Amino acid sequence: MTDIGACTVTVLDVIEETRDARSLVLEAPEDVRDRFGYRPGQFLTLRIPAAGGSGTARCYSLSSAPGVDPHMKITVKRVSGGTGSNWICDHVRPGDTLQVLPPAGLFTPERLDGRLFLFAGGSGITPVMSIIKAVLARPEGSAVLCYANRDESSVIFAAELRRLVERHPGRLQVVHWLESVQGLPTAAALAALAAPHADRDAALVCGPEPFMDAVADAMRDVGLPRERVIVERFHSLTGDPFAEPEPLPAASGGDAGARVTVTLDGERHSLPWPSGTPLLDVLLANGIRAPFSCREGACSACACQVVSGEVKMLRNDVLEEEDLAEGWVLGCQSLPVTEDVEVTYD
């Protein structure tokens, strides 16, 4: 059986944040805790059990911050008809255990001591909260947060944000946008709001798709360069990332395959790479715990950079032109094009 790195964590507490949002405080067992180091803004992938045994999986952002909160915490808001969010809100209790994949994701600022511009829509506040706490825990760095919600009762972390603003005067500014009062946040309205802050080092955006598109347009209009805007896009998963990867095909005379050199956690590995097998599957089958979450090109948890050689991707729903130009590829979707390929995860 291939060890794909899934772990069982214990639910220490369930916190009711709003009428339809809960936070789960989680603890990983001592012997795998080193796999649960994370960066602010990353997410966990949870197995959602289903009657009959075949489960599904969902990604939930961590709202806790490393070095600030003693335990990991994810925050989940009910989605109408949503399998994962409703199961969590209805069934998960303190003392329960959950199967998860270690933290992953690229929605994290390059520097925590810079001047950030943060945009959150609804439960998009979850990874943004993690980033805010991580920034404020340092002696330098500041954040302006634009936080859009349907109405006042749906504002997650309202009291905690108020406390942080009071405790860190001048370093955190929160601008609430309530649809019940101001209507939907349009690109033009967001650009007007953003104009005084257009010289910020980077903007990070998480929320519903139309909100993120409006923010991206607003950032373009106020002149913040595209490469300084980081957007978190989640797609619903259709497969089961907890499933065993397919065994590697035996080498055949007609398919010499390629060779890949991989740098991960400071170690270099050189492996044969069968031409029809995604890079991630090759690594997992060889006992190398490469990061991943969805295994279907939808989350970027498996992103790595091509150092030399060429690969092609079967599917890519998350990397943008700028990422591809910098050599980023999705390990779970990459097949070799050239005979020799070198990639790095570090």
Site residues for ligand FES per CB under 6 A: 292-295, 297-302, 330, 332
Closer by beta carbon to ligand FES, 63 or else 300: 300
Closer by beta carbon to ligand FES, 120 or else 332: 332
Give least dist CB 292 to ligand FES, A.
4
| Residue nearest ligand FES by beta-carbon distance | 332
Give least dist CB 245 to ligand FES, A.
12
Give least dist CB 291 to ligand FES, A.
8
Closer by beta carbon to ligand FES, 126 or else 293: 293
Closer by beta carbon to ligand FES, 219 or else 298: 298
Residue 306 forms beta bridges with which residues?
343
Give least dist CB 104 to ligand FES, A.
8
Closer by beta carbon to ligand FES, 75 or else 334: 334
Give least dist CB 212 to ligand FES, A.
18
